[in-house]
Amino acid sequence: MAESHEVRLEPSGHTFSVNSGETVLEAALRQGIGLPYGCRNGACGACKSTLVSGELQYGDYQERALHDSEKAAGKALTCCTKPLTDVTLQVRELAGAKDLQIRTLPARIERVEKPAEDVAVLYLKLPASERLQFLAGQYIDILLKDGKRRSFSMANAPHDDALLQLHVRKAPGGAFSKFVFEEMKERAIIRFEGPLGTFYLREDSDKPVIFVAGGTGFAPIKSLIEHAFQKDMDRQMVLYWGARARSDLYLPEVPAKWAAEHPNFSYVPVLSDPLPGDEWSGRTGFVHQAVLDDFPSLAGFQVYACGAPAMTDIAKATFVEQKGLPEDEFFCDAFTYSVDPKK
């Protein structure tokens, strides 16, 4: 029988076994242990833990997710490491995601809206007897016919789950976006796996919240904010939504309506390259810089950021180094690409 190893988590003291060939994260998910993760392929760094004792086999990962200096200091990514011995890991466990069953389901594309030339909003309907239980901010993997996967966040909040809403940007060479924009037939059936990810609102905190979205990174942020409103959270919240030109803020009426209806919410749109025809009198530049300009200190805040890695990486670095944001109060869902070129 193939050898298994035991993983002990600190500070919780939880233990679980990892079968031969399994990563630490795969084993944890299989046994309902709530470890943080995002991409599950070594690209984002959300699953980072610290090796206290034992030996790990490191798989493929991107350097931006785990720098050599971090690895030398004992850091490891649970999504792509396998234990060679019994190990002890220091990691902050999550209570929220572990009780949700990850399932593979079919869904029908009920309708498609195109609020911008290069953005499609898909509404997915599950079979009549099914609902997907998920946390605001989580994502699903669309399972393509050739075995590839494409990850998309739910843009609807969990209480509004009759249809799942996905925001898809047209990407050159993108397998799923080509299907959506060029090939998709009305009421097409797709298959997906989910819910996935640990990007969700930490409701045990009363700190004010800054949301930072880049482009279609607005999707999970929308889910988080609508969930907060539904739960009547009175925490102060501000959304910075960054894009290139005015049309890239593809649902501007949504955050504008939130700001009008909720005294504890404000909205700051930021354009990096407004077009002459945009007649833009609002904020310009990079979206993370707008946050830096507006807050002398972030020491007492939580930040939730979603967008391209270039944006989320620099946001985390500057918010922590320049404004005193506690590192563990920065929650991120970066648009990452698989290490495996086949995916």
CB 33 within 8 A of CB 95: no
Calculate what percentage of the chain has a pLDDT beyond 70: 96
Helix H or strand E segment including 69 = helix 68-72
Q: Give per-residue burial for 243-258: e unless 16+ CB within 10 Å, then b.
A: beebbbbbbbebbeeb
Question: Is this structure's pTM higher than 0.85?
Answer: no
Q: Note whether 102 and 34 are within 8 A (CB).
A: no
Average pLDDT over residues 107-122: 95
The helix or strand, by DSSP H or E, that contains position 1, with its residue range, turns out to be none
Provide DSSP, 177-200: HHIIIIIPPTT-EEEEEEEE----
**Strand partners for 265:** 237
Domains and CATH numbers, the chain: 5-90 (3.10.20.30), 103-196 (2.40.30.10), 209-334 (3.40.50.80)
Which CA distances in Å does 152 have to 155, 162, 264? 9, 17, 28
Mean pLDDT (the chain, rounded): 92
CB 242 within 8 A of CB 307: yes
**pLDDT (tens digit, 9 = 90+) per residue, 55-103?**
999 999 999 899 999 999 999 999 999 999 999 999 988 766 666 778 8
Residue 336 in this model has a pLDDT that exceeds 90 = no
Binned at pLDDT 50, 70 and 90, residue 115 comes out as very high
For residues 53 and 89, what is the distance between their CA atoms, to the nearest angstrom? 7
Contacts of 313 (CB under 8 A, 6+ apart): 64, 334
What pLDDT does residue 340 have?
38
Mean pLDDT of the region 195-216: 94
